[in-house]
Amino acid sequence: MKVAFATQDMQRVDAHFGWAKNIAVYDVRADGYDFIEAFTFEGDLKEDGDEDKLAPKIAAIMDCAILYVAAIGGSGAARVVASKIHPIKVPQPEAIMDILDKLQDVVKGTPPPWLRKALLKDQERVMDFEDEVEND
């Protein structure tokens, strides 16, 4: 499952989604996690009401299941949720590695329903019609 982190320093979740200079993406599994990619954004990111700045960020995280942020505006949250990404706000800056460790522990155990659904985002739905019984 891919997880995105809004970050200014690439070490902590410490950024508002719209204002984030960076988004770090990791792949999280029950047996570990790997850094996948970092996206860097330029320009006046703090300009409120500029919805255009969200489009490249949404595109960057489109295949992620979860997005960790320090804060997120209403329209940003709506667009993230519409993309089937679960946003999670952290109350204060938190180390990305600490979050990854906790998330991996949850994935190893019995994840809550919302996380089970997020884990399925990566998996393609396969229909096996040969298993169906024909009624002639």
Q: What is the pLDDT of residues 68-116, one digit of tens each?
A: 999 999 989 999 999 999 999 999 999 999 999 999 998 888 888 888 8
Q: In terms of Cα–Cα distance, which of 66, 60, 70 is closest to 87?
A: 66
Band of residue 46 on the pLDDT scale cut at 50, 70, 90: low
Angle subtended at Cα 19 by Cα 22 and Cα 118, rounded to the nearest 5 degrees? 65
Report how far apart, in Å, the C-alpha atoms of 127 and of each of 16, 64, 132 are. 40, 23, 10
Q: Say what the pLDDT of residue 73 is.
A: 92
Strands 66-69 and 2-7: parallel
Report how far apart, in Å, the C-alpha atoms of 31 and of each of 11, 38, 64, 67, 113 are. 22, 22, 18, 20, 20
CA 21/CA 43 separation, integer angstroms: 9
Q: Say what the pLDDT of residue 131 is.
A: 45
CA 41/CA 10 separation, integer angstroms: 13
Cβ contacts of residue 124 below 8 Å, gap of 6+? Answer: none
Question: Higher confidence at residue 45 or residue 21?
Answer: 21
Average pLDDT taken over every residue of the chain? 86
